[in-house]
Amino acid sequence: MKVAEEHGIALRQNYNQIAPRLAAQIGRYAHAKQFKRMRKAVRTLRTRVGRVQREVARQLAALPEQAQAKVNDLLVRTGRILTQRTKDKNKLYALHAPEVECISKGKARTPYEFGVKVSIATTLKEGLVVGMRSMPGNPYDGHTLEEALEQVAILAERKPTTAIVDKGYRGVEIEGVRILRSSQKRGITRTLKAMIHRRSAIEPAIGHMKMDGRLGRNPLKGALGDALHAVMCGAGHNLRLILAKLRLFAARFGLALHALLAIFSSPVGRTQLAHR
């Protein structure tokens, strides 16, 4: 309906009031687990969208060629949404972002996330981000490790010799890189065990990047926007860590300076200074 209004396409009927009301009803019915009413509202909304889509398609030839390409792309995506079903593969989850995928998390509170998978590599002790890239296509975690280490080698100008990962990277072997996995027992010394335990420190870092660094919502468009947003979130996380260290150093320096001034301002301190 917005595209029809922009290009002057006259519609026999618009649904500017009915469609938002139906969308709100669907959400409320789903929350209340009234699925029969929800499915009825979904069918009604799908019918309304199909009517507008067919009417715009009938008047597509009257538009300029440049506008036809833009409107036709929107009509194709709308047709995918209208025809796809629950168990179909490669479904379209967002009309404005076709690259969005459904990522299964396996957690009770968040069974699924919708977006693009991002691989994150940090240093073991400091937690600084040394590699961060988007992985379109929702690949298996183990298949992303080689690309992630390649990016680390490019950015750090040094190829990592040890990678500590979780259980999602089972069965992955990379030449020249020692891979340590969570709960690994065979050939693990006390030092290596401490290093593996340290791997869990990346989880709060991911949480901070999602909430404080806005990694959880990408304002940039397309696959290139996903890649740029991931890199900028990693850089922002490093800047926050550096600023936190600087604030701690400034606080310690201020306390030491305050204690030194207190000593020199006391009578005992002035007497000792005069004798020296």
Show the CA angle centred on residue 56, arms to residues 51 and 57, nearest 5°. Answer: 100
Per-residue pLDDT reduced to its tens digit, 242-261: 999 999 999 999 999 988 88
When pLDDT is averaged across residues 216-238 and rounded to a whole number, the result is 92
Is residue 161 located within the same domain as residue 216?
A: yes
Per-residue pLDDT reduced to its tens digit, 135-167: 998 898 889 999 999 999 999 888 899 999 988
Is residue 141 located within the same domain as residue 204?
A: yes
Q: Which amino acid is at 18?
A: I
pLDDT recorded at residue 3: 87
Whether the per-residue pLDDT at 185 is higher than 90: the answer is no
pLDDT recorded at residue 7: 87
Is residue 233 located within the same domain as residue 123?
A: yes
Whether the per-residue pLDDT at 267 is higher than 80: the answer is no
Phi, psi (rounded to 5 degrees) for 132? -160, 120
Rounded to the nearest integer, the mean pLDDT of the chain is 89
Is residue 61 located within the same domain as residue 134?
A: no
When pLDDT is averaged across residues 69-77 and rounded to a whole number, the result is 91
Compute the distance between CA of residue 173 and CA of residue 146 in angstroms, rounded to an integer.
9
Q: With respect to residue 98, please indicate whether it lies within any of the assigned structural domains.
A: no
Is residue 68 located within the same domain as residue 142?
A: no
Q: Which residues of 123-151 are buried (b: 16+ CB within 10 A; e: fewer)?
A: eeeebebbbbbbbeeeeebeebbeebbeb
pLDDT recorded at residue 170: 86
When pLDDT is averaged across residues 44-60 and rounded to a whole number, the result is 93
Q: With respect to residue 75, please indicate whether it lies within any of the assigned structural domains.
A: yes
Whether the per-residue pLDDT at 91 is higher than 80: the answer is yes
Q: Which domain holds residue 203?
A: 118-237
Q: How many structural domains does the chain have?
A: 2
Is residue 74 located within the same domain as residue 130?
A: no
Is residue 122 located within the same domain as residue 233?
A: yes
Q: Which amino acid is at 131?
A: G
Report the range of poorest mean pLDDT among 125-129, 142-146, 214-218, 267-271.
267-271
pLDDT recorded at residue 205: 92
Please say which residue of 68, 83, 98 terminates a domain.
83
Is residue 139 located within the same domain as residue 229?
A: yes
* Proportion of the chain above pLDDT 70, given as a percent: 97
pLDDT recorded at residue 90: 85
Q: With respect to residue 112, please indicate whether it lies within any of the assigned structural domains.
A: no
